[in-house]
Chain A
Amino acid sequence: MAKNYSKASIETPKDLKPKEETINFLLNYSKALSVIKSDKVKFEFVLN
């Protein structure tokens, strides 16, 4: 009896990586983010 093989219903793209824009955004976000600790409270600022 022949074996039955089924194709994968969803093909996985080979170039699975995030866009450069996303990476750049994250790096810029990190540079702009500033955290100031005051007693028990931490304030986050995103500088322009």
Chain B
Amino acid sequence: MQYELITDATLVSCYIKGDESALEVLIKRHKQKIYSFIYSKVYDKDVAEDIFQDTFIKVIRTLKKGNYNEEGKFLPWVMRISHNLVIDFFRKSNRMPKFDNAGEFSIFSVLSDTSLNAENSIIKEQVEFDVRRLVDELPEDQKDVLLMRIYDDLSFKEISDKTGVSINTALGRMRYALINLRKIIDKHNIVLTN
């Protein structure tokens, strides 16, 4: 049988009936066009190879399941499958950032062990103790607002409701609390860094 003269539609029909050699003719007839099309989108031979393979796996499964409607458009159908797989590839690529350790950037420059060692843990405790001592030196109304805001995580609306003052007053007390804390820190030459 001279497959080269036979139309795609006939080859597909033969393949569905069980003639595996018809598939070989179809693939070899269109492989360059389909592969070139895929490559023109992804510009990576390995990726193009994978997408080409996935394209024909879909073609094979659809034909064998009898889900293909012959309308004389085998090649456009296959191109559409490969086109959709290219889109899927780009969607996955965008969701998964690639890290190339061969370049200057290394993932380990942004991933690190953030747990404190013993020394840093002691320093952190000392700093927190010093901050609380400093806060105690503030005027009562400013200290209350600061404690509610920073330690109780209340909003200024909630602080205003609790203290019976306006939101603007609460905001002002917070602002002066911070200004006064800075003055106290400067006055006593305190170092609050870890």
Total interface residues on B, CB under 8 Å, equals 24
Is the Cβ of B65 less than 8 Å from the Cβ of A23? no
Q: How far is the CA of A44 from the CA of B65 in the complex (A)?
A: 8
What is the minimal beta-carbon distance from A33 to any residue of chain B, in angstroms? 6
In the complex, the chain B residue whose C-beta lies closest to that of A10 is B43
Tell me the A1-38 residues at the B interface (CB within 8 Å): 10, 12-13, 16-19, 22-23, 25-27, 29-31, 33-35, 37
Q: Quick check: is B74 within 8 A (CB to CB) of the other chain?
A: no
Q: Quick check: is A40 within 8 A (CB to CB) of the other chain?
A: no
What is the minimal beta-carbon distance from A47 to any residue of chain B, in angstroms? 13
A residues apposed to B, CB below 8 Å? 10, 12-13, 16-19, 22-23, 25-27, 29-31, 33-35, 37, 42, 44
Binds A, one of B52-60, B136-144, B150-158, B176-184: B52-60
Is the Cβ of A27 less than 8 Å from the Cβ of B24? yes
Q: How far is the CA of A22 from the CA of B45 in the complex (A)?
A: 12
Tell me the B34-69 residues at the A interface (CB within 8 Å): 35-36, 39-40, 43, 45, 48-49, 52-53, 56-57, 60-61, 64-66
Binds A, one of B1-9, B25-33, B90-98, B111-119: B25-33
18 other contacts beyond A16-B32, A22-B53, with CB at 8 A cut-off? A13-B39, A13-B45, A16-B35, A16-B39, A17-B35, A18-B31, A18-B48, A22-B49, A23-B24, A23-B28, A23-B31, A26-B56, A27-B24, A33-B64, A34-B64, A35-B61, A35-B66, A37-B66
Q: Quick check: is B148 within 8 A (CB to CB) of the other chain?
A: no
User: Given the complex, which residues of B lie within 8 Å of A26, measured CB to CB?
Assistant: 23, 27, 53, 56-57, 60
User: Given the complex, which residues of B lie within 8 Å of A23, measured CB to CB?
Assistant: 24, 27-28, 31
Q: How far is the CA of A22 from the CA of B5 in the complex (A)?
A: 25
Q: Quick check: is B20 within 8 A (CB to CB) of the other chain?
A: yes
User: Given the complex, which residues of A lie within 8 Å of B39, measured CB to CB?
Assistant: 12-13, 16
Other-chain residue from B27, B32, B60 in contact with A33 (beta carbon distance below 8 A): B60
Q: What are 18 contact pairs spanning A and B, CB under 8 A? A: A16-B35, A16-B39, A17-B32, A17-B35, A18-B35, A18-B48, A18-B49, A18-B52, A23-B27, A26-B27, A26-B60, A30-B20, A30-B23, A33-B60, A33-B64, A35-B64, A35-B66, A42-B65
